[in-house]
């Protein structure tokens, strides 16, 4: 098998193929991780991390709801392969949640950041070198393009923040995806507005953002949101 990192767009099934779309996100993630390594000051670091979060969580959610069920269906070892990546996704969720909870002055922050970068790069390697080439072998190019359209739609409707208690598998992730996406994307807009707003409006915006986070936490803990998860990724 050849890594999808080494193939042309045509070999991947064209620009609309899910393989080409996945690789585009991986290239953007690599750029953001390099930007994170060169960031100076907590404000700049937090801004880069926000962009990484929006990319990573929507990307992973689309994988878990669209691609990994296909891999489990068409490959005899699909369950083990996808579980490995789901564990990486779970660790990313937990690391980002810990970074948000601890804040910029937490002494554990540098180690957590370093581990986050390490896991994200491991996840890209596992997908580009193992899972996605196996998918390429198992389904024809026209199916890769159909999966690309479904994956892109799901990515645009996916949550953009960590939700470590939500199931990494259907039906829990599919059932919780839309409400969490609405809450996350509303919170993204509120937080962006707070950063641009006059200082006297910041407390109200921060309170609204906190309220949205509380609602998202409630959605995470609904039993249906946790249904279908495997013990290695359940929290």
Could you tell me which of 135, 149, 141 has the C-alpha nearest to residue 72? 135
> Cβ contacts of residue 73 below 8 Å, gap of 6+?
none
Q: pTM for this structure? A: 0.95
Q: What is the mean pLDDT of residues 137-153?
A: 98
Radius of gyration of the chain (CA): 18
Q: What is the pLDDT of residue 169?
A: 96
Which helix or strand (DSSP H or E) is residue 52 part of? helix 42-62
* CA-wise closest residue to 70 among 10, 25, 19: 19
Q: Read off the pLDDT of each residue in 10-30 and give the average, rounded to a whole number.
A: 98
Q: Both ends of the chain: CA-CA distance in Å?
A: 34
The C-alpha atoms of residue 60 and residue 125 are separated, in whole angstroms, by 14
Please write the tens of the pLDDT for every residue from 204-219.
Answer: 999 999 999 999 999 9
What pLDDT is attached to residue 1?
85
Backbone angles phi, psi at 51, to 5 degrees: -70, -35
pLDDT tops 90 at residue 77? yes
Q: What is the mean pLDDT of residues 167-191?
A: 96
For the stretch 97-119, pLDDT in tens is: 999 999 889 999 999 999 999 99
CA-closest candidate to residue 85, choices 61, 50, 109: 61
Measured over the CA atoms of residue 32, residue 38, residue 41 and residue 44, the dihedral's sign is: negative
Alpha carbons 63 and 65: distance in angstroms, whole number: 6
What whole-number percentage of the chain has pLDDT above 70? 100
């Amino acid at each position: 098998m050849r890594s999808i990192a080494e193939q042309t767009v045509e070999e991947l099934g064209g620009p609309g193929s899910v393989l080409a779309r996945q690789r585009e996100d991986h290239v953007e993630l690599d750029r953001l991780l390099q930007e994170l390594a060169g960031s100076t000051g907590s404000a700049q670091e937090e801004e880069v991390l926000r962009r990484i979060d929006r990319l990573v969580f929507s990307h992973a959610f689309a994988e878990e709801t669209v691609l990994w069920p296909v891999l489990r269906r068409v490959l005899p070892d699909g369950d083990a392969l996808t579980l490995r990546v789901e564990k990486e996704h779970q660790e990313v969720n937990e690391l980002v949640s810990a970074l948000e909870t601890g804040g910029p002055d937490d002494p554990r922050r540098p180690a957590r950041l370093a581990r986050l970068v390490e896991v994200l790069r491991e996840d890209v390697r596992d997908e580009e070198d193992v899972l996605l080439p196996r998918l390429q072998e198992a389904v024809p190019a026209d199916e890769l393009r159909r999966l690309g359209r479904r994956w892109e739609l799901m990515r645009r409707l996916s949550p953009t923040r960590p939700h470590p208690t939500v199931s990494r598998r259907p039906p829990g992730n599919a059932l919780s995806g839309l409400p969490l996406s609405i809450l996350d994307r509303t919170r993204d807009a509120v937080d962006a507005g707070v950063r641009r707003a006059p200082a006297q409006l910041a407390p109200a915006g921060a309170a609204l953002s906190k309220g949205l986070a509380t609602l998202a936490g409630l959605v995470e803990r609904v039993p249906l949101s946790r249904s279908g998860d495997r013990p290695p990724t359940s929290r």
